[in-house]
Chains A and B, each alone.
Chain A
Amino acid sequence: MRIVVFCCENSAYQAARQVKLPAELDLIRLPCGGRVEVLHMLRAFEEGADGVLVLTCQEDNCQSLHGSARARNRVDYAREILQEIGMDPERLQWHPVTSNMGPRFQKIVADMIEGLKASA
């Protein structure tokens, strides 16, 4: 199994570094949630990802003000595309994870792995 996690380096990336990470995880570090594109998420699936997570700041806690909100919108859009091509949109998720929330990072990843295993 392969999970690709796009992380804002101000928040989720910091959180990821405080906890044990499952082997199947690929962390892609971004300067802000606002940098992630629909293309990146879809390409991740093309490259064999079973699940893709976009983890950014809380929407009202983004250092670039609306970067997180943009990321969330793009994830919503990409989920619609997944739906249209017959893929389970739950394989792509957006969550806010602040820099000191290691346990939340862990739980989001664990939940996704569990969800993927259940639907497999």
Chain B
Amino acid sequence: MKASALVIGGGPAGLGAALKLAGAGIKVYLVEKEGAVGGWGARYVCKATDSCQQCSACLIPKKIQEVYQHPLVEILTNTQVVDVEGEPGSFQVRLQRDQTLDPTLCNACGRCLEACPKAAVDLLNPWAVSYRIDKERCKVYSGEDCDLCARACPTGAINFHRPGASWDLSVQLVVAAIGHEPFDARRKYRLGYGRFPRVITGLELEEALNRIEGTDIFGDGWRPLDVAFIQCVGSRDVQEGADYCSRVCCKYALRLAGLLRHREPATKATFYYMDIQTGGKGFPEIYRQARDDFEFMRGIPARIDGGDRLKLHFDGVSGEGFANREHDLVVLSVGIAPSANTAEMARLLTLNRDEHGFLKGREGIYVAGTAGGPRDISESLAHGMETAAKAIIKLEGREG
């Protein structure tokens, strides 16, 4: 019998690994805890201006299609790994699936969506093949009685009383591509996130620009014209235990500023930074363009306050140009932190974590993508591919 593999996580790294493993004839179980594959990558906006900015967000739909099309990849959404036993070459894995919404019955007709009073049923991303129930918004999960969506569903796909399914798999190898968590900007209380509506994270700006054309990011007709990007929020920060560079924030911030300006040419942007990271093929040109278009100020504000105009305060810098900096939108370029369930996964898979909390692989269990450290979309895809290649070489490898 041919080998089989478990890939945990359907983000870019998981997709990349699953495709390459399947390409080598290995049966792949791709487990995703959310209702659809794609991960964070599926929520990002295309940052192209008149030219491609090489953010790679456009690769995600293609990869999703490829995994769905591959006969050897079985996609298990709403599913979690609850137990792993065994040794390299022979792991027994227990999976658990929430079957409230059975994706094998859902045909995405959308009636549940119309019926829900809380807009708690939606497609996680545009490539989701079935709906999902957002447990934070759904009344049932906050203890109320409601079954409007279940009654509206013509195929019986939604049933709040259906028990979850649990079953076992045997696999030769495991790829942990559990992804990351954006740094929680609330931890930086003095930067005002969560207190001032016009202090937002880079991720929120991404998602807003992905929903709409133009720059009406709050949907209230107001358009930001003078934007501050604060770099290294939750990166290179010893206090937060994050004394590493998150690798992606300079890139996404410069690209998002470029996109804002492309959509609204009057937009001004200022970057408050320590060091801009210019590495990566094609990125130097993007940086050069940004130097011409935007203002760069070395230094991270210590405190932000104010209302419609936000005031940035700097500690210990008396230099010219730093007094009374004001902007009408502040974007915090939040970094990459280990995923919330990293500790849990480390325990389940008996993996060690590095000094920053990211997972480290071991024999038979590989770590791919941001689960192992900061990476952007294309780097995560490539890391998934590398991981798969390593696993295949190990599995089929002849000692040279």
A60-B52, A61-B48 known; A11+B213 contact, CB < 8 A: no
Determine how close the nearest CB of chain A comes to the CB of B52; give it in whole angstroms: 4
Among A24-32, A37-45, A96-104, the one that faces the other chain is A96-104
| Among candidates A18, A61, A100, A104, residue contacting B52 with C-beta atoms closer than 8 Å | A61
Question: Which of B54, B58, B212, B213 is the one whose CB lies under 8 Å from A100?
Answer: B58
Residues of the B chain whose Cβ atoms lie less than 8 Å from the Cβ of A106:
213
B126: chain A residues at CB < 8 Å are 17-18, 100, 102
B392 at the A/B interface (Cβ < 8 Å)? no
Which residues of B, 51-100, contact A by the 8 Å Cβ criterion? 51-52, 54, 57-58, 60-62
Q: Is residue B190 within 8 Å, beta carbon to beta carbon, of the partner chain?
A: no
- A19 smallest CB distance to B (angstroms): 8
Q: Which residues of B contact A17 (CB under 8 A)?
A: 126
Q: 8 Å CB contacts to A: which residues of B280-339?
A: none
- Map CB proximity to B onto A47-62 as digits: 1 under 8 Å, 0 otherwise: 0000000000011110
User: Contacts of A102 on B, CB cut-off 8 Å?
Assistant: 126
Q: Tell whether A117 is near chain B: CB-to-CB under 8 Å.
A: no
A103 and B214 alpha carbons, distance in the complex (Å):
10
Point out the residues of chain A lying under 8 angstroms from B48, CB to CB: 58, 61, 96, 98
The docked-state distance in angstroms from the alpha carbon of A104 to that of B127 is: 16
The residues in B between 27 and 51 inclusive whose CB is less than 8 angstroms from any CB of A are 42, 44-46, 48, 51
- Closest Cβ of chain A: how far from B173's Cβ, in Å? 31
Inter-chain contacts of A59 with B (CB < 8 A): 51-52
The residue in chain B whose Cβ has the minimal distance to the Cβ of A96 is B48
Chain A's nearest CB lies how many Å from the CB of B356?
30
Give the complex CA separation of A101 and B44 in angstroms.
10
Given known A18-B126, A107-B213, contact A100–B61 (CB-CB < 8 A): yes
Q: Contact partner of B212 among A61, A98, A103, CB < 8 A?
A: A103
A61 to B44, CA, bound (A): 17
Given A58-B51, A59-B51, A98-B46, are A103 and B58 neighbors across the interface (CB < 8 Å)? no
B172 to chain A, nearest CB (A): 34
Contact A103 B211 (CB under 8 A): yes
In the bound complex, do residue A99 and residue B58 qualify as a contact, i.e. CB atoms below 8 Å apart? yes
By the criterion CB–CB under 8 Å, are B61 and A104 in contact? no
Max count, chain A CB within 10 A of own CB: residue among B46, B52, B54, B126: B46
B190-233 contacts to A, CB under 8 A, are: 210-213
Scoring A residues 1 to 44 as 1 if CB is less than 8 Å from chain B, else 0, what string do you get? 00000000011001001100000000000000000000000000
A96 to B53, CA, bound (A): 13
Q: Is the CB of B213 within 8 A of A99?
A: no
Contact status B61-A99, CB under 8 Å: yes
Once the chains are docked, how many angstroms separate the CA of A17 from the CA of B123?
14
Within the assembled complex, what's the spacing in Å between the Cα atoms of A11 and B58?
A: 8
Whether A100 pairs with B46 at a CB distance below 8 angstroms is: yes
In the docked arrangement, what's the CA distance between A59 and B44, Å?
20
B286 to chain A, nearest CB (A): 12
The 8 Å CB contact of B61, one of A14, A58, A96, A107, is A14
Q: Which residues of chain A come closer than 8 Å to B213, judged between CB atoms?
A: 103-104, 106-107
Measured CB to CB, the nearest residue on chain A to B123 is: A18
Among residues of B, the one whose C-beta sits closest to the C-beta of A10 is: B62
Q: Shortest Cβ distance from B218 into chain A, in angstroms?
A: 16
Complex contacts, B45 vs chain A, CB 8 Å: 100-101
Chain B stretch 89-134: residues in CB contact (< 8 A) with chain A:
126-127
Give Cα A109–Cα B57 distance, bound, in whole angstroms.
22
- Is B61's CB under 8 angstroms from A60's CB? no
Inter-subunit contact A99/B51 (CB<8 Å): no
Chain A residues closer than 8 Å to B212, beta-carbon distance: 103
Q: How far is the CB of A14 from chain B (nearest CB, A)?
A: 5
Q: List, sorted by A's number, 21 A–B pairs whose CB atoms are closer than 8 Å.
A: A10-B62, A14-B62, A18-B126, A58-B48, A58-B52, A61-B48, A61-B52, A96-B48, A98-B46, A98-B48, A98-B52, A98-B57, A98-B58, A99-B58, A99-B62, A100-B60, A100-B126, A101-B58, A102-B126, A103-B211, A104-B46
User: Which residues of A are at the interface with B, using a C-beta cutoff of 8 A?
Assistant: 10-11, 14, 17-18, 58-61, 96, 98-104, 106-107
Q: Which 7 A-B pairs have the closest CB atoms?
A: A18-B126, A61-B52, A58-B52, A98-B58, A107-B213, A98-B46, A99-B58
* Other A-B pairs beyond A18-B127, A100-B58, 20, CB < 8 Å: A11-B58, A14-B61, A58-B51, A60-B51, A60-B52, A61-B52, A61-B54, A98-B48, A98-B52, A99-B61, A99-B62, A100-B42, A100-B45, A100-B46, A100-B126, A100-B210, A103-B210, A103-B213, A104-B213, A107-B213
